[in-house]
Structure 1
């Protein structure tokens, strides 16, 4: 599939957790071609650089794409002010997503903060393939928690908060043992979390999705590189990733 510059029509904007916005967009091409783990590279008025935002859900019949983002700076602060009926352009679907070959397997989804959204679309896709799904979702506090019921509809779900204000206390790695047996895992979140997970599961097959600021978003500017695990070069997160095999890159 090709990355295209597309016009995104905003259908709804909802504040679903602390500084966390869910935005439902309408676009035919991206709704028909995007796979779990890909992202939109969104243009925001008044800002030179686009912002990469993971795709959280797709409805091919309604031709809608759901994105979630956290208000972290002036760009996302501006995007959060957009209203239904407004439009913005985005490059997409961008990046390499999650590839799922086995059906009827048991998969562990491990998400941290704004790394949770792309795992929801992945979880829905796995459920359609009759896979068993267990999810561990980590947040800072109870105010940051979102999509708990949606993940529960897919399978057993653990919520972890750093301060213990909701669910389990600690980090996602603290309760992996509670997930029981799983054949492989998928994870998305900040690099320290991914590093802890891959260290804890060194022999378990897994795919990880990296969050990173980007420049061009198409692999030309080398602004979002990460060292390859073999020490022989670098991988571009925007085009080679954001999804990599767990032992493919050096975190």
Structure 2
């Protein structure tokens, strides 16, 4: 259940080009967050909060890990936080990934900063004995992160747009190498999600949408998306960010 929380910064690290890993402390979030949910962070001097996916939780040590790219003044200011500083947040926010318990194997397909929530999901499913395969897409070698962590979960493929690391191309370029799976989960840019859902249309799947949000609680209609339900709309911040692959129109 989403509520206002205070997060205490434990550590901040650069893990790839323009990419920050931040570990935060909060007992409530660490014990209640599920894979696919996000934190809506307040940054001093900025009216709008920043939605950041949860990449990992450690309920024994009350830790939450987030990853984000430094792409503007807000995220650069966030990255400048030091251990011991506090961050005001709403969370855990949104609806996370669903798992029906019938799958023996899953495919995770992530692009760029859409990869972090898939790690949290993959770790959770692997702990339940589910076979996990991952396809991770990046711009180039300098942006690659968490490769070793995903390889600990199962077979993983790294793809870069320019071919400087792993396979060259897009995440769909290696799909013909993937062994059969029951369900897929994908998070990343809209164009990537369009390509993935089209290619995997005969599989059950879930997608998580990256979207710049306004209020983050479903009141401002800044992040609505059309659905296949008689022309209706859903709010990514409140009804998502996770949807079934055939639920929304990308």
Taking structure 2 as the reference length, what is the TM-score of the superposition? Answer: 0.99
Aligned partner of residue 153 in structure 1, secondary structure: helix
Q: Is 1:170 paired with 2:177?
A: no
Alignment correspondent of 2:18: 19
Aligned partner of residue 8 in structure 2, secondary structure: strand
Alignment correspondent of 1:99: 98
Alignment correspondent of 1:56: 55
Moved over 3 A (4+): none
Alignment correspondent of 1:227: 226
Q: Is 1:80 paired with 2:94?
A: no
- Listed as ranges, the gaps of 5+ residues in structure 1 are none
Offset of residue 44 of structure 1: 0.5
Total equivalences in the alignment: 250
Alignment correspondent of 1:137: 136
Could you give the per-residue CA deviations for residues 157-209 of structure 1, whole angstroms, max 9, x where no partner exists?
Answer: 00000000000000001111211111110000000000000111112100000
Alignment correspondent of 2:145: 146
- Listed as ranges, the gaps of 5+ residues in structure 2 are none
Contact conserved, 1:103 with 1:130, CA < 8 A, in 2? no
Aligned partner of residue 48 in structure 1, secondary structure: coil
Residue range with higher mean Cα deviation, 187-196 or 228-237 = 228-237
Offset of residue 232 of structure 1: 2.2
Contact conserved, 1:104 with 1:129, CA < 8 A, in 2? no
Could you give the per-residue CA deviations for residues 124-180 of structure 1, whole angstroms, max 9, x where no partner exists?
Answer: 100111000000000000000000000000000000000000000000011112111
Alignment correspondent of 2:45: 46
Taking structure 1 as the reference length, what is the TM-score of the superposition? Answer: 0.98
User: What is the rounded CA distance, in whole Å, between the counterparts of 1:169 and 1:149 in structure 2?
Assistant: 19
Alignment correspondent of 1:126: 125
Offset of residue 104 of structure 1: 5.9
